[in-house]
Structure 1
């Protein structure tokens, strides 16, 4: 029975490989283009990744900053109102985390190709 299930669903390692295979294919597609970049262009890619993440969460960061400023400016705010704002901030923090994860997954193949190229350059002392 166990062999039947294993044959039907695959082993854990087979399922893991099946999950990462699309990423590996994308990395292999992107890698030749990354290899052609010079050192400065490669550094710029990393800066671009950081900027993309910051852009993805900019709106949420502004909303969080606005709520915190609102609490700071209104010293006579009732505890219930503060609690409501803290709950909104918590929800926005979770949304921010989720957005960062989505963005990281979007840039993952390209970022890995950049890391691979950088490691190869260090190994070859370029």
Structure 2
């Protein structure tokens, strides 16, 4: 009986492979473009990923900052009102987290291609030179 179910539904590893195959195909499509990038351009892709995530959650972050300012500006605020505002912050943080996860899933193939190419370059070259950025200071 168990073998029949495995044949019909597949094993865990087969399910996992079916799930990640579309992502792998996207990585294979993107990777040749990534190989052509200069070291600086490859590095800039990572900054681009950070910016995409920051832009996606900036609205929620601004709302959270506004609510926190409101709480700090009103020390005599009613406890029930403060509790409601903190619950609103919690909800906004959950939404921001969800947005972050969605963006991470969107950039996953490109990010993996960048990581794969970076690893290949480190394997083949003892030293990799790039232009210093603000993150290096």
Identify the residue that residue 3 of structure 1 maps to in structure 2. 3
Of Structure 1 and Structure 2, the greater helix share is in 1
SS at match of 1:37: coil
Structure-2 residue corresponding to 1:63: 63
- Tell me how far apart the structure 2 counterparts of residues 8 and 97 of structure 1 sit (CA, whole Å): 37
- C-alpha distance after superposition, 1:62-114 (max 9, x if no partner): 00000000000011100000000000000001001100000000000000000
Q: Residue in 2 aligned with 1:116?
A: 116
Count of aligned positions: 126
What are the equivalent positions in structure 2 for 1:57-96 lying under 5 Å apart?
A: 57-96=57-96
1:20-59 → structure 2 map (5 Å cutoff): 20-59=20-59
C-alpha separation between the residues in 1 aligned to 2:94 and 2:75? 26
Structure 1 vs Structure 2 CA RMSD: 0.6
2:75 is paired with a residue whose SS is: coil
